[in-house]
């Protein structure tokens, strides 16, 4: 399906008119009714413009028009959700050509609309063999026209390009996240990154197991020990062309392609969901790709320690002590607290070899952050108030919410070890997301602009796509919005 902008009034195919719920809704509907050649009373009786409400009406010349409710005061995420739901629900009934009338809105609505429309085509049936042919609207023949005013055109054009770039990358990340361990392992992530780097012009380096041993990434290696598939460290570096001294942002993402818990094995009830334990990796790799596509004037290094956390005779055992890349020793109290252990090496490698101006890690790190914040915000940890403010602003803009939790030093007590430099688990069922963050802080080497985002509740969640939790693509839009903020701040 092809999306184009149009500033002419002649529209073809069915028409969608988004409607915001305001005090003047009745008046809006009178105008709409006049435009469509319908009775105002009909529209007013059946349509309240609640979010996701749909009213289909036929005009005198049999043109079909959908009024699509946006609720009151819609933000980018509301546009996205409303359009995604509409297209997901209606896709099999849609004709090959469709227009959306956006002339009443500012160009900024475009991004949510495009991400929503594209998202509506996603399906989880990756491995079904009797798949019906897809809907005609989403086939190559499909055409979507976004009707905008001439004043909106420039903003709309940029928003369209950005949204297309993000949704195309995000969809691949959804597929990687939703893929089970039978269909992905650390090498799958490495292969994807190598191909992406070649396509979009950024450098990818893969450290294989032998190289990890040579360079002593002992923490990452210890987690992978019980698995048949070897670990890798993925390094993706995007350097913008023609920019003197661009800001350097380091992103580190947890890439556990399956988390059984290891010897401290998880109970089976929801273990199958642990194919999603690479949500941080998806956010980081996706962000580097989008940044390269959009040619953002910023230097980005993405590092992903990737491994499976399995259990066999060679597995790390509770009580084992391992030496991380930084030289610090870790007492592994619980092998299911593996994310922080591999991130110790991801962060350590980043800090020692790249010295970024800003360092952000993302990880599906703790069940405890879900206990604290549920499925509505990622836990954000940082000692840097400016960074916290910027990430919060990017989160509010995109609707990928974050909420700050403390990093007070009293929590450091929880991970003091009797025998090693620190231990990976407090042994107490309290403040688990915070003690995990305190653990990571040690390996950020007191970086002045480090933030950790615990995205355990956000990366994999309930969606309209299926009955089980599935991938959300969380983090890419947030990080791209943040990076764009960094860019505009440097220009000031």
β-sheet bridge partners, residue 207:
233
Helix (H, G, I), strand (E, B) or coil at 328: coil
**What is the smallest separation between the CB atom of 194 and Zn ion, expressed in angstroms?**
25
| Residue 74 vs 432, nearer CB to ligand BES | 432
Tokens representing 261 are: 């818990």
Stretches 230-238, 293-301, 333-341, 468-476: which one binds Mn ion (CB under 5 A)?
333-341
| Residue 338 vs 345, nearer CB to Mn ion | 338
Q: Quick one: CA torsion of 136, 139, 141, 144, rounded to 10 degrees? A: 90
Residue 13 binding target from ligand BES, Mn ion, Zn ion, none, CB below 5 to 8 Å by type: none
Residue 456 binding target from Mn ion, ligand BES, Zn ion, none, CB below 5 to 8 Å by type: ligand BES
Residue with the closest Cβ to Zn ion? Answer: 259
Q: Which of 52, 171, 248, 266 is catalytic?
A: 266
**76 near Zn ion, judged by CB under 5 A:** no
Write the CB contacts of 255 (distance below 8 Å, at least 6 apart in sequence).
Answer: 186, 189, 234, 278, 280, 281, 304, 305, 306, 307, 342
Is 84 one of the annotated active-site residues of the chain?
Answer: no
Locus of tokens 């956006």: 102
Q: Are strands 402-404 and 64-69 parallel, antiparallel or unpaired?
A: unpaired
Determine which residue in the list 78, 259, 308, 361 makes contact with Zn ion, applying CB under 5 A.
259
| Residue 22 vs 270, nearer CB to ligand BES | 270
| Beta strand segments in 1-116, E | 2-6, 14-19, 54-58, 64-69, 97-101
CA distance 372 to 138: 39
Residue with the closest Cβ to Mn ion? Answer: 336
| Residue 90 vs 311, nearer CB to Zn ion | 311
CA distance 302 to 479: 12
**277 near Zn ion, judged by CB under 5 A:** yes
Tokens representing 336 are: 């299911």
Nearest C-alpha neighbor of 480 from the set 391, 377, 356, 354: 391
Q: Quick one: CA torsion of 349, 353, 357, 360, rounded to 10 degrees? A: -20
Q: Are strands 329-331 and 321-323 parallel, antiparallel or unpaired?
A: antiparallel
**339 near Zn ion, judged by CB under 5 A:** yes
**What is the smallest separation between the CB atom of 261 and Mn ion, expressed in angstroms?**
5
Stretches 56-64, 68-76, 149-157, 329-337: which one binds Mn ion (CB under 5 A)?
329-337
**What is the smallest separation between the CB atom of 441 and ligand BES, expressed in angstroms?**
16
Helix (H, G, I), strand (E, B) or coil at 189: helix
Q: Which of 209, 340, 423, 477 is catalytic?
A: 340
**305 near Zn ion, judged by CB under 5 A:** no
CA distance 110 to 152: 10
**What is the smallest separation between the CB atom of 459 and ligand BES, expressed in angstroms?**
7
| Residue 259 vs 400, nearer CB to Zn ion | 259
Determine which residue in the list 14, 76, 111, 259 makes contact with Mn ion, applying CB under 5 A.
259
Nearest C-alpha neighbor of 461 from the set 348, 333, 332, 375: 375
**What is the smallest separation between the CB atom of 102 and ligand BES, expressed in angstroms?**
37
Name the burial class of residue 310, with classes exposed (0-12), middle (13-18) and buried (19+) by CB atoms within 10 angstroms of its CB: buried
**What is the smallest separation between the CB atom of 365 and Zn ion, expressed in angstroms?**
7
Determine which residue in the list 53, 111, 336, 414 makes contact with Mn ion, applying CB under 5 A.
336
Residue 373 binding target from Zn ion, Mn ion, ligand BES, none, CB below 5 to 8 Å by type: none
| Residue 156 vs 229, nearer CB to Mn ion | 229
Is 266 one of the annotated active-site residues of the chain?
Answer: yes
Locus of tokens 């903003």: 155
H-state helical runs in 263-306:
279-293
Helix (H, G, I), strand (E, B) or coil at 213: helix
Residue 368 binding target from Mn ion, ligand BES, Zn ion, none, CB below 5 to 8 Å by type: ligand BES
Q: Give the binding site for ligand BES (CB under 6 A).
A: 259, 277, 334, 336-339, 364-368, 425, 432, 456
- Residues annotated as catalytic are 266, 340
What does the binding site for Zn ion look like in residue numbers (CB under 5 A)? 256, 259, 277, 339
What is the binding site for Mn ion (CB under 5 A)? 259, 336, 338
């Amino acid at each position: 399906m092809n999306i184009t902008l149009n500033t002419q009034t002649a529209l073809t195919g069915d028409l969608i008119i988004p409607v915001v719920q305001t005090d003047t809704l009745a008046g809006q509907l009178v105008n709409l009714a006049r435009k469509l050649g319908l009775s105002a009373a009909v529209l007013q009786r059946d349509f309240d413009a609640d979010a996701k409400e749909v009213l289909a009406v036929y005009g005198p010349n049999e043109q079909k028009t959908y009024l699509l409710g946006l609720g009151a005061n819609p933000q980018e995420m509301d546009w996205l959700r409303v359009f995604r739901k509409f297209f997901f629900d209606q896709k099999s009934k849609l004709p090959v050509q469709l227009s959306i009338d956006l002339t009443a809105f500012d160009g900024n609505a475009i991004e949510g609309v495009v991400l929503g429309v594209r998202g509506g085509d996603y399906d989880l049936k990756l491995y079904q063999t009797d798949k019906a042919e897809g809907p005609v609207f989403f086939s190559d023949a499909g055409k979507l026209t976004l009707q905008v005013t001439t004043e909106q055109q420039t903003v709309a054009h940029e928003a369209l390009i950005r949204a297309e770039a993000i949704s195309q990358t995000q969809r691949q990340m959804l597929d990687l996240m939703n893929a089970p361990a039978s269909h992905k392992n650390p090498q799958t992530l490495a292969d994807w990154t190598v191909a992406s780097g070649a396509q979009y012009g950024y450098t990818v380096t893969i450290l294989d197991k032998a190289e990890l041993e040579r360079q002593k990434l002992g923490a990452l290696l210890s987690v992978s020990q019980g698995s048949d598939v070897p670990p890798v460290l993925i390094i993706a570096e995007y350097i913008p062309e023609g920019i003197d001294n661009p800001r350097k942002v380091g992103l580190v993402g947890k890439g556990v392609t399956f988390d059984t818990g290891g010897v401290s094995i998880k109970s089976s009830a929801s273990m199958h969901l642990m194919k999603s334990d690479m949500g941080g990796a998806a956010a980081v790799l996706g962000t580097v790709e989008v940044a390269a596509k959009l040619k953002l004037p910023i230097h980005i290094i993405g590092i992903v320690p990737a491994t499976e956390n399995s259990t066999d005779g060679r597995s790390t055992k509770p009580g084992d002590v391992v030496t991380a890349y930084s030289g610090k020793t870790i007492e592994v109290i619980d092998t299911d607290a593996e994310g922080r252990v591999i991130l110790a090496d991801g962060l350590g490698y980043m800090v020692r070899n790249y010295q970024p101006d800003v360092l952000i890690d993302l990880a599906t790190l703790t069940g405890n952050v879900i206990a604290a914040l549920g499925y509505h915000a990622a836990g954000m940890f940082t000692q840097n108030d400016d960074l916290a403010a910027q990430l919060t602003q990017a989160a509010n803009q995109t609707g990928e919410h974050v909420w700050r939790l403390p990093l007070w030093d009293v929590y450091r007590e929880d991970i003091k070890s009797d025998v090693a430099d620190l231990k990976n688990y407090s042994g107490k069922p309290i403040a688990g997301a915070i003690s995990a963050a305190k653990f990571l802080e040690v390996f950020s080497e007191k970086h002045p602009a480090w933030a950790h985002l615990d995205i355990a509740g956000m990366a994999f969640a309930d969606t309209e796509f299926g009955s089980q939790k599935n991938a959300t693509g969380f983090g890419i839009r947030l990080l791209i919005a943040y990076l764009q903020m960094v860019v505009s701040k440097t220009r000031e």
